[in-house]
């Protein structure tokens, strides 16, 4: 098998690259296995004693191959796996001078990602060529999910039944729903059956509306293939073009595009992208804007009652009927060609201490989420920063419009700080607006810093105000002036506190945080105290003793309903000092919610008994579950072994009864790595149920392994199962 694999690899490269392959030295290792399973199960009826015999057999194979090779200007590396217990994977990466060849999983269709949405996943082949002036990329890949967008008309009472999406199953990633331009929140407003593609609303629907659902459909792969060419015309000008086709269920796109980069000055770069998207579409598929359901300028719904909803549906049916009668659509379907234009212009400025970027995009068709971050519309992004010895300012803002020039989202930030010998003024402002809801946040702070004597660090006193707006009311609220002080010993060690107030002199919150190290001792922690609750989190590490100490704790306390949470963990490690394994850990958990207290205490250890023998154990005592576990593991000559015992007690629901179940389990394993192995376990509970396994695997020849496993359980009836497995290594 090794010779056959080697010959295929060398032959491939001799044909493709007859000159370069002579310098390659390939090293690889591979393994191929073939196994068969013989399955026998005996079920005995407890009352009659009648036995039922079930038999089955199966076979399979696994294949693992890893190879690599390189010389001064070339390399080849990759692996191939085919194993039903793991995900099949194929990876290939070849470089022969200026040529590349790859088979892998990618996050964009081409190696140059400036056009493509990096949230997509692809698998397939990419090839390329690159020298000092030219770059060629060819791609043939498969996408694993298709973006779907559904507009679903709903009527009052729709929350009483599930709303079916047009496609299923649905991916849990990037699932979004809007009702009349308001985005809904998962679990608070709705739940989803992802397998069936059914949405269940959790609030009453009192008037007709439209659900706009954006999601990925799983299991519907599609192909993306094309090419790209780029050329450096001069040190200042680079440009090129690309062509791409996407084919799949509901996907039939073509892209002709071009990209140009002009370095006008060393500090000024301009970029221009333009492309035509050709789409084969079905004229029966229309959006609700074209039917008059949405206002084209504002994007707001214009249907207010059930009569209007019926009218909209009748208009859509009438348009379809007219097309059918006029012969424009044969048998209800006729492909038509749609052409959309995408373009983008950007400017980048970079000088010492200053950066600036202006980016404007118009995206009429994102090719089913393949392009430009998966959005459609118009977008303007501006960002920049300026930094000097004692001054820093940063600014960024984004505006997004629909293609009908309706501003539906904008956000921005402005941050500025100035340093003098003592004074440090600081300003921060942010704004976010989406679908008419606006939220703003601002901070104004004045700090006064004093350098302490004898290299003791510095002390900074802070006076500021923190203010934000309500998205619903659009007015300023939450005005919180604050006082603060911070001590900085050095870059690593600092302590600080800030106290916030509200209108009328009321207390709002207190924040204390810091980190400190002193020799072998390291500490970090924070306190957040509000009128509703307070939270303390801290950690301590001490390494200069005969034992390494690590202590972590979290405590949270609510005042109104007496809810509290405590999690304390302590780890003691003597391994470094004793030069052998020796550890003890202790933890405490207390959680009180709505007057119900749940506690859990744990203590565990690991200790080397002899040179090749370690004992271990853990005890967990809780209000809901308890268990004790312990065992030994070690080695004797070439044999590794592990023997352990576990007792557990936990509540269990059997039918409509709450039963307290106690279980005892004994398990062992022994064997020689990559040679033979035997294992077994028995578990018995207080309800008279029990189960057990016993197995062994042994190589009877250098290339042949044989395994035998016997399993038995008694839940209602006795069940016996025996499996014989043979594995052949080619």
Percent of the chain with pLDDT strictly greater than 90: 36
CA distances to 48, 165, 683 from 119, rounded to whole Å, are: 61, 22, 47
CA distance 720 to 51: 10
Say if residue 14's pLDDT is above 70: no
User: Which of 125-139, 314-328, 530-544, 644-658 bottoms out in mean pLDDT, i.e. has the lowest?
Assistant: 314-328
Torsion sign, CA atoms 305, 311, 315, 321: positive
Torsion sign, CA atoms 299, 300, 302, 306: positive
Higher pLDDT, 509 or 299: 509
Which tokens go with 705? Answer: 């392994």
The pLDDT assigned to 91 comes to 82
Q: What does the H/E/C string look like for 582-644? A: EEEEEEEEEEEECCEEEEEEEEEEEEEEECCEEEEEEEEEECCCEEEEEEEEEEECCEEEEEE
Q: What are phi and psi of 72, to 5 degrees?
A: -65, -35
The pLDDT assigned to 701 comes to 77
Higher pLDDT, 368 or 484: 484
**DSSP state, residue 301:** B
608: nearest Cα among 562, 575, 641, 586:
575
Higher pLDDT, 310 or 486: 486
573: nearest Cα among 602, 540, 542:
542
Place of tokens 């199966």: 58
The pLDDT assigned to 534 comes to 92
Place of tokens 């006193």: 461
Mean pLDDT of 430-443: 84
Quote helix, strand, coil % in the chain, to nearest 5: 10, 65, 25
pTM of the model: 0.64
- pLDDT classification of 476: cutoffs 50, 70, 90: low
CA distance 229 to 237: 14
Say if residue 9's pLDDT is above 70: no
- Each residue's pLDDT tens digit, 135-165: 999 999 888 777 777 888 888 888 888 888 8
Per DSSP, the chain holds a count of helices (H) and strands (E) of 3, 41
CA distances to 17, 26, 71 from 11, rounded to whole Å, are: 10, 12, 18
Q: What are phi and psi of 131, to 5 degrees?
A: -130, -160
Helix (H, G, I), strand (E, B) or coil at 322: helix
Mean pLDDT of 542-552: 89
CA distances to 19, 570, 581, 672, 712 from 608, rounded to whole Å, are: 59, 20, 5, 21, 35
For the CA atoms of the chain, what is the radius of gyration?
A: 34
Q: Quick check: 245 and 235 in contact, CB under 8 A?
A: no
CA distances to 227, 416, 462, 475 from 413, rounded to whole Å, are: 39, 10, 22, 19
Say if residue 294's pLDDT is above 60: no
CA distance 613 to 615: 7
226 CB-near residues (< 8 Å, 6+ apart): 109, 110, 138, 139, 242, 243, 244, 245, 255
Q: Taking CA 258 as the corner, what is the angle to CA 255 and CA 263, rounded to the nearest 5 degrees?
A: 155
The pLDDT assigned to 304 comes to 45
Mean pLDDT of 190-201: 89
The pLDDT assigned to 329 comes to 37
The pLDDT assigned to 448 comes to 96
Say if residue 109's pLDDT is above 70: no
- pLDDT classification of 116: cutoffs 50, 70, 90: low
The pLDDT assigned to 25 comes to 42
Q: Quick check: 225 and 242 in contact, CB under 8 A?
A: no
The pLDDT assigned to 239 comes to 93
For residue 3, is it left (φ>0), alpha (ψ between -120 and 50) or beta? alpha
CA distances to 542, 561, 564, 565, 583 from 593, rounded to whole Å, are: 34, 8, 7, 9, 33
Say if residue 308's pLDDT is above 90: no
Higher pLDDT, 224 or 64: 224
For residue 97, is it left (φ>0), alpha (ψ between -120 and 50) or beta? left
- Mean pLDDT in the chain? 80
- pLDDT classification of 515: cutoffs 50, 70, 90: very high
CA distances to 152, 211, 580, 619 from 184, rounded to whole Å, are: 15, 10, 56, 45
- Each residue's pLDDT tens digit, 329-354: 343 334 467 888 999 999 999 999 99
685: nearest Cα among 666, 663, 707, 706:
663
The pLDDT assigned to 445 comes to 96
Mean pLDDT of 83-89: 55
CA distance 85 to 88: 9
The pLDDT assigned to 484 comes to 96
CA distance 263 to 237: 6
Place of tokens 């098998």: 1
Higher pLDDT, 594 or 245: 245
Mean pLDDT of 282-288: 39
Mean pLDDT of 211-223: 81
Q: Quick check: 46 and 716 in contact, CB under 8 A?
A: yes
CA distance 448 to 427: 15
User: Which of 183-187, 389-393, 459-463, 667-671 bottoms out in mean pLDDT, i.e. has the lowest?
Assistant: 183-187
- Each residue's pLDDT tens digit, 679-714: 999 999 988 888 999 999 888 877 778 888 888 888
The pLDDT assigned to 238 comes to 93
637 CB-near residues (< 8 Å, 6+ apart): none
- Each residue's pLDDT tens digit, 352-381: 999 999 999 998 988 877 776 667 889 999
The pLDDT assigned to 283 comes to 38
User: Which of 10-14, 39-43, 51-55, 598-602 bottoms out in mean pLDDT, i.e. has the lowest?
Assistant: 10-14
- pLDDT classification of 609: cutoffs 50, 70, 90: very high
CA distance 605 to 587: 12
Percent of the chain with pLDDT strictly greater than 70: 77
């Amino acid at each position: 098998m090794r010779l056959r694999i080697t010959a295929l690899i060398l032959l491939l490269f001799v044909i493709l690259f007859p000159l370069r392959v002579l310098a390659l030295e390939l090293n690889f290792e591979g393994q191929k296995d073939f196994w068969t399973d013989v399955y026998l199960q005996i079920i005995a009826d407890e009352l009659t004693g009648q036995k039922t015999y079930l038999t089955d057999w199966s076979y399979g194979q696994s294949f693992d191959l890893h190879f690599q090779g390189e010389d001064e200007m070339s390399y080849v590396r990759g692996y191939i796996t085919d194993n039903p217990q793991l995900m099949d994977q194929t990876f290939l990466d070849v470089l022969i001078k200026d040529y590349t060849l790859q088979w892998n999983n990618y996050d964009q269709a081409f190696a140059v990602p400036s056009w493509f949405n990096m949230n997509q996943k692809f698998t397939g082949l990419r090839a390329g060529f690159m020298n000092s002036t030219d770059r060629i990329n060819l791609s043939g890949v498969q996408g694993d999910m298709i973006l779907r967008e559904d507009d679903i008309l709903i009527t009052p009472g729709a929350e009483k039944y599930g709303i079916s999406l047009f496609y299923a199953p649905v991916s849990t990633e990037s699932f979004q729903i809007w009702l009349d331009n308001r985005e809904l929140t998962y679990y608070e407003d709705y739940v989803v059956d992802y397998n069936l593609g059914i949405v269940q609303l959790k609030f009453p629907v009192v008037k007709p509306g439209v659900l706009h659902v954006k999601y990925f459909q799983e299991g519907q792969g599609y192909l993306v293939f094309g090419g790209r060419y780029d050329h450096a015309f001069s040190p200042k000008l680079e440009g090129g073009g690309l062509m791409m086709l996407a084919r799949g269920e509901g996907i039939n796109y073509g892209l002709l595009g071009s990209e140009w980069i002009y370095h006008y000055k060393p500090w000024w770069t301009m970029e221009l992208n333009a492309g035509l998207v050709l789409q084969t579409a079905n004229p029966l598929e229309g959006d609700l804007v074209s039917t008059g359901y949405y206002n084209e300028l504002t994007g707001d719904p214009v249907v207010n009652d059930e009569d209007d909803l019926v009218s909209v549906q009748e208009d859509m049916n009438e348009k379809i009927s007219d097309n059918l009668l006029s012969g424009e659509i044969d048998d209800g379907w006729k492909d038509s060609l749609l052409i959309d234009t995408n373009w983008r212009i950007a400017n980048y400025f970079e000088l010492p201490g200053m950066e600036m970027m202006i980016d404007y995009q118009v995206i009429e068709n994102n090719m089913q989420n393949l392009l430009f971050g998966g959005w459609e519309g118009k977008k303007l992004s501006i960002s920049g920063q300026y930094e000097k010895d004692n001054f820093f300012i940063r600014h960024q803002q984004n505006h997004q419009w629909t293609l009908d020039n309706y501003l539906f989202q904008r956000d921005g930030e402005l941050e500025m700080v100035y340093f003098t010998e003592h004074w440090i003024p600081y300003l921060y402002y942010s704004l976010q607006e989406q679908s008419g809801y606006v939220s703003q946040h601002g901070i104004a702070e004045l700090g006064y810093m004093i350098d302490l004597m004898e290299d003791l660090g510095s002390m900074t006193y802070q006076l500021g105000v923190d203010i934000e707006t309500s998205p619903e009311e659009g007015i300023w609220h939450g005005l919180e002036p604050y006082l603060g002080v911070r001590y900085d010993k050095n870059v690593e060690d600092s302590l600080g506190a800030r106290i916030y107030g509200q209108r009328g002199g009321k207390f709002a919150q207190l924040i204390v945080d810091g980190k400190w190290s002193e020799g072998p001792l390291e500490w970090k922690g924070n306190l957040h105290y509000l009128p509703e609750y307070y939270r303390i989190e801290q950690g301590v590490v001490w390494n200069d003793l005969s034992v390494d100490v690590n202590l972590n704790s979290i405590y949270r306390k609510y005042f109104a309903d007496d809810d509290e949470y405590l999690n304390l963990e302590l780890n003691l490690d003597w391994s470094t000092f004793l030069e052998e394994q020796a550890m003890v850990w202790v933890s405490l958990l207390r959680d009180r919610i709505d007057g119900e207290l749940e506690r859990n205490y744990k203590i565990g250890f690991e200790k080397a008994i002899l040179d090749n023998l370690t004992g271990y154990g853990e005890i967990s005592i809780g209000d809901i579950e308890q268990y004790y576990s312990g065992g030994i593991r070690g080695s004797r000559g070439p044999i590794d072994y592990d023997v352990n015992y576990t007792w557990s007690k936990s509540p269990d629901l059997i039918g409509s009864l709450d039963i307290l179940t106690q279980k005892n389990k004994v398990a062992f394993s022994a064997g020689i790595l990559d040679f033979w192995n035997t294992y077994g376990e028995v578990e018995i509970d207080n309800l008279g149920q029990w189960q057990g396994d016993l197995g062994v695997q042994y190589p009877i020849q250098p290339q042949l392994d044989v395994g035998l496993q016997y399993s038995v359980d008694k839940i209602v009836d006795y069940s016996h199962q025996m499996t014989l497995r043979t594995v052949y290594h080619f």
